Structure 1
Amino acid sequence: MVSQMLLKRRAAAFGAAAVLVLTPVVAGCSDDNGSSNQVTPTTSPAMTDQPMDPGAAKAQITKNWTAFFDPKTPTAERIKLLENGESMAPVLGAFAGDKNASQTSVKVKEIDFTSPTNANVTYDLLVAGNTALPDAKGTSVFQNDTWKVSVQTLCGLVQVSGATVPGC
């Protein structure tokens, strides 16, 4: 009985991931690393693996990830919260009308900086408020003065769903 419930929860997680990322316009999912568009935040003279104000950066990452995965966030706002969001606009627009996506959200659990402009993010993927994919791993990038969900994270959800999408 417990294993059947676990299988159902996993299936729901994979389904939610698929709903979030699988659309007819997913071809825009490639990650060109966006390095030419990245703005490096000011750091102290000695390079560190953190931004100058790690507390403020963590707060912004948490806020932006929560908003990005919140089904009530308008597509125009999500574009601003995703790395290379303008090129991903068709994919994000497709999410807006999906009823299953309206039940999916995230809870950011941990943030570890790997550089002043990159962070590893551990989060739970929630479906209808229940944890469907615990301790998922993603990344956040600092681009255009904003901490954003990385395209790598979005494409990672595609992989979790078992789908093969060109560019991911």
Structure 2
Amino acid sequence: MKIYLAGPEVFLPDAQEIGAAKKAVCAEYGLEGLFPLDGGLDLSGLTQRQAGLAIYDANIALIEAADGCIANVTPFRGPSLDPGTAYEIGHMRGLGKPVFAYSNDVRLFAARTRAFCGVSGARDEEGLLIEDFGLTDNLMIDGAAVCSGSPILCEDKEGVLDDLAAFRACAARAADILLETRT
């Protein structure tokens, strides 16, 4: 079973090494990890725009080749997950494929949003309601994971993007569910 590895790790300086480590964990559980940087793209000679769209196409091909997705929804540059990861989750669910997710931040979405906005009430400084359903992230993200058979798994790692403890637990859960449905 192939599993797409969504998350903001692609932005880290050691992205290739983290991707390799995640793929090795997947292999321990009988899964083939597909990391976004696996495309082997030659971006030379392309404009920035062309390169960005080529990366998009390569990632969509990996998503569509996968049987499911493990997504790192640890907050990234704000109180919520990386927007590219959110898109990948939605695309995967739109294909009817399962999404398994984890976060290295145990705080709930509402608490993180209030802290980010510097408020304590139900609304932010612009008067906009703060989503508060007792979930890990936006309700659509949690819903994608729950509908796939597993809530978002969380570890208290202070939001560190590259810690693999929660990823390992998520990979084990994904393998249990995916490999069980295969038989």
Larger radius of gyration: 2
Greater percentage in helix: 2
Higher relative contact order (CA 8 A, sep 6+): 1
| TM-score, normalised via structure 2 length | 0.28
